[in-house]
Structure formats: structure tokens, C-alpha cells
Amino acid sequence: MKLAFSTLGVPGLPLPEVLRLATAHGYHGIELRAHPEEPVHPGLTPAERDDVATAFKAAGVEILGLAGYARVAAPGDDGPVLAEIRTLLDLARDLGAPYVRVFPGGGDGQSPQEADATAARRLGTAAEHAADRGVRILLETHDSHRTGAAAMRVLGLVGHRRVGALWDVMHTWLGGEQPSETFAALSPHLGYVQVKDIASADDTAPLPLGTGVLPLAECVEVLSRHGWDGWLCWEYEKRWYEGAAPLPGLLDAGREHLARLLNDSA
């Protein structure tokens, strides 16, 4: 498996510094938070997009994906949601990124069936644009659909190879799902896996990998046992927790912890 980290852990850091961290600490890729407050976002000009792609190629680091914020199950008109996804897909195509992350985002007042149908309709429509761009849309296990079983209710309705799943291990754990259950649900559709660690269900501030309660060893063991050979991406949510320790000082230990888990499960 290949290792990446998310720029959510180094909010606003200039891209050359992000690439320096990746190469210095032995990470193969970067998940880019595609938000206007970050260096890489849909507002970049064509020349700026070329510069980003060139910088990654020169550094020998892959762009794992773009972490967008479109909420595909949210109540309201389809148009703005689809437009947001399309801008992300266009950016991913220009940068050479294989994946775009979206959230479920089902709202209050919706039944689960309504949320599922809304998300599936939008993802099915967006899948055609994704196919044209050579990019895959990944629905993250998050918020209204935090388990693999919940995400599969949507993905089963979509049935398009350009729409898959992003497994966030914190949310499936918070949803009461065992890693083996999550993998069984998502494996036909799995794009990559976000790893992290926290102190408890009531304290989700990011911790160094291996120092909290999330079942990272079990997740890696399940993935390895089934021969899955994709990406593990460390999503250290520094952006939302200003008091969390800075990510750069944790990158070596995090990589080493994941390497131990991979060796133990081999």
C-alpha cells in the first residue's frame, strides 16, 4: 500500500512546502483539500493548474485526490451541487488527480430513502462528466452516511464504475461498524482509505497515529488479508483543531506506525 497525507493537516501551507514535507518524510502522495483558502482550488487559472501538475511531477509525488465539499444528499436543487462537482472534476483532470471526494450531507427532515435517492441521482448524473474527464468520484463515509452499509445504499443505486467509496475509519467506527464489515460493504467500490486517530467518541481532536482508540491495526489487517493494495491517507484534521500538535513533527512517526502495521499484517 502507498502512503499519503492530507493538506487538511497543514492548512494554507504553500505547495512547495507541502511537497518538501512529503519527500522529506517518505510519503508517496498528497490529498489536496480543494478549498479557496488553500493553494489548490477550482479558481486556479489554466497556467496555475499547469504549474501545480509540474511541481508534483518534479517532486516525484502523486496527487492522490481532491477533497471537495459537495454534499450530494443535501436537500435543494440539483443544479448547484452538480456544478460544484463538475468544477472539481475539471480541476482533477487538469492536475492529473484520479479522485474527487464528496460528502453525503443528508439534511434534517429527509428520510433515509429520500437522502439515498437524492445522492444516487446526482452521483449518477455527475458520473458521466467524471467518465469524460477520466476521474472517479468517491463518496466518503461521513455525516448522514457514516458507515459502509449506509454508503452502499447509495452506491448500489448508482451502479457506475466512475462512482466509488472513500473509507474514513473514524466515521465507520463512530457508526458502530467493525472494519471487516466496512470492507465487505465497500470493497467492490473502494477508492482509498483515510486513517487517523482520536481519544474517544466524545473527543475527536486529532492524535498521532497509534495513540488513540481507532482500530487502525484491524483496518490494515483486513485490507492486507484481502489483498487490497491501494492508498492509506492520513487525514490529520489540524484545520478544525487549532490546539492539535503541528503535523510536520508527527509525519515520521506516523509513517513508521503505518509501516509497522503493514509489516505485521503481511
Q: How many CB atoms lie within 10 A of CB 200?
A: 9
Q: How confident is the model at residue 175 (pLDDT cuts 50, 70, 90)?
A: very high
Residue type, 1: M
The proportion of the chain whose per-residue pLDDT surpasses 90, expressed as a percent, equals 97
Residue the block writes with cell 437522502: 115
Query: What count of other Cβ atoms lies within 10 Å of the Cβ of residue 96?
Result: 15
DSSP 50: H
- Looking at residue 105, what is its pLDDT? 97
Quote the pLDDT of residue 107: 85
Q: What is the mean pLDDT of residues 194-202?
A: 98
Q: Is the pLDDT of residue 266 over 80?
A: no
Q: How far apart are CA 39 and CA 32, in angstroms?
A: 9
pLDDT the model gives residue 134: 98
Average pLDDT over residues 56-67: 98
User: For 73-108, how does the pLDDT look when each residue is reduced to its tens digit (9 = 90+)?
Assistant: 999 999 999 999 999 999 999 999 999 999 999 988
**Mean pLDDT, rounded, for 245-253:** 98
From the list 70, 98, 142, 48, the residue with the least C-alpha distance to 231 is 98
- Residue 246 DSSP symbol: P
- Residue range 10-59, pLDDT digits in tens: 999 999 999 999 999 999 999 999 999 999 999 999 999 999 999 999 99
Task: Write down the pLDDT at residue 109.
Answer: 86
CB atoms within 10 A of CB 149: 17
Alpha-carbon distance of 225 to 104, in angstroms, equals: 29
CA 132 vs CA 15, 47, 71, 89, 103: distances in Å: 28, 22, 21, 9, 22
Maximal CA-CA distance, the chain: 49
Supply the pLDDT for residue 243: 94
What's the average model confidence in pLDDT over 156-165? Answer: 96
Query: What mean pLDDT is reported for the chain?
Result: 97
Condensed to tens digits (0 to 9), the pLDDT of residues 200-232 reads 999 999 999 999 999 999 999 999 999 999 999
Extract the runs of DSSP E, i.e. beta strands, from the chain. Answer: 2-6, 29-33, 62-71, 99-103, 136-140, 163-168, 190-195, 231-234
Average pLDDT on 190-207 reads: 98
pLDDT for the residue 265: 83
> Count of CB atoms within 10 A of residue 114's CB?
14
* Domains of the chain: residue spans and CATH: 2-265 (3.20.20.150)
